[in-house]
Amino acid sequence: MSNFDEITKVLQENNNFLITSHINLDGDGIGSELALYFILKKLHKKAIILNQNRLPKLYDFLPDSDKVHYLEDNCINPKNIDVVIALDCSNIKRIGKTYEIFKNIKTIINIDHHKSNENYGSLNYVDSSASSVGEIIYELINFIDSDLLDDKISTCLFTAIITDTGSFRYSNVSSKTFEIASHLTCHRIKPHLIANNIYNRNTYSGLKLLGEALLTLEINESGCVSWLTITRKMLNDTNANDEEIEGIIDIATTLNNVEISILFRETKDNKIKVSFRSKGNFDVNKFAGKFKGGGHPNAAGCLCSGKLDEIKENVLSELFGDIKYLGYEN
């Protein structure tokens, strides 16, 4: 694995950077991208953020969020890029179509916290003990020069950390996570305002969709697995968009005695996205791997082709087999 010394050298010796993250951008992806963008600007470098998809509205409160580009902007000339930095992407597929733009660029810095990372970069920094890539970027900034940290960067890193830890509730939280969050709070950020922006700006259509989704809630006989389903019809009927699905699976996870929760949803391009969450020791990253997906031990996903009912049946019967084998039903 590369170290901060090597990464810092590449940052110092080059001038034009492209920063990217994964499809279905989340708080860790965008928070880490913007934090690194601000650092590069402070180091007098040219940096551009490019993701496959448009920034979810949820993150429009972040500083300079209007400067985040997406593929259809057509704003990138690969000839003008020296270095690509991919954040929070365990493999090239997760980068999405953006990869086509820079696949011929030699220097790719891969910074991630997924255990399953495939080390696709020319430099790879993967720390699966970090709660979020935000935590790693914080450490990288401290390594380069701790005076670089300011309120804008702290807001982005705090967002990355709270979203990837479920507001400090997941098992990926360590004493280091709290130390970093505490240090970020010294930089005039207001954690409650960040939390309000992320959690208290639901839309009417989003809450209606949540209501529809909850009507589909099912549990297995022993009550340790719960699942929800969201169809295109439900999105159409409630006037909600795909971004508003974010967070709905977490409600299914709150059920007492539930160890594993699942959300099955139809995507715009006729695929079925399956999200998994685990409250205990069941490793959903490993389980999602059976369907060519991945993620973390407590939060993972996969994308399947086929009919919704058939995929539900396949995934659930595979899961019921596993939990029986592992003794969850006793």
Residues that bind ligand 5GP (CB under 6 A): 24, 90, 94, 275, 293-296, 299-303
Identify which of residues 155 and 261 has a Cβ nearer to ligand 5GP in the complex.
261
Tell me the closest approach of the beta carbon of residue 300 to ligand 5GP, in angstroms: 4
Tell me the closest approach of the beta carbon of residue 301 to Mn ion, in angstroms: 12
> What does the per-residue mask of binding to Mn ion show for 155-184, with x meaning CB under 5 A?
---------x--------------------
Identify which of residues 81 and 294 has a Cβ nearer to ligand 5GP in the complex.
294
Encode the chain in three state secondary structure: CCCHHHHHHHHHHCCEEEEECCCCCCHHHHHHHHHHHHHHHHCCCEEEEEECCCCCHHHCCCCCHHHEEEHHHCCCCHHHCCEEEEECCCCHHHHCCHHHHHCCCCEEEEEECCCCCCCCCCEEEECCCCCCHHHHHHHHHHHHHHHHCCHHHHHHHHHHHHHHCCCCCCCCCCHHHHHHHHHHHCCCCCHHHHHHHHHCCCCHHHHHHHHHHHHCCEECCCCCEEEEEECHHHHHHHCCCHHHHCCHHHHHHCCCCCCEEEEEEECCCCCEEEEEEECCCCCHHHHHHCCCCEECCCEEEEEECCCHHHHHHHHHHHHHHHHHHCCCCC
Is 88 a residue that touches Mn ion (CB under 5 A)?
yes
Residue 24 interacting entry, from ligand 5GP, Mn ion, none, C-beta within 5 to 8 Å by type: ligand 5GP
Tell me the closest approach of the beta carbon of residue 176 to ligand 5GP, in angstroms: 19
Residue 295 interacting entry, from ligand 5GP, Mn ion, none, C-beta within 5 to 8 Å by type: ligand 5GP
Tell me the closest approach of the beta carbon of residue 312 to ligand 5GP, in angstroms: 16
Residue 312 interacting entry, from Mn ion, ligand 5GP, none, C-beta within 5 to 8 Å by type: none
Is 28 a residue that touches Mn ion (CB under 5 A)?
yes
Tell me the closest approach of the beta carbon of residue 253 to ligand 5GP, in angstroms: 11
Tell me the closest approach of the beta carbon of residue 301 to ligand 5GP, in angstroms: 3
List residues near Mn ion by CB under 5 A.
28, 88, 132, 164
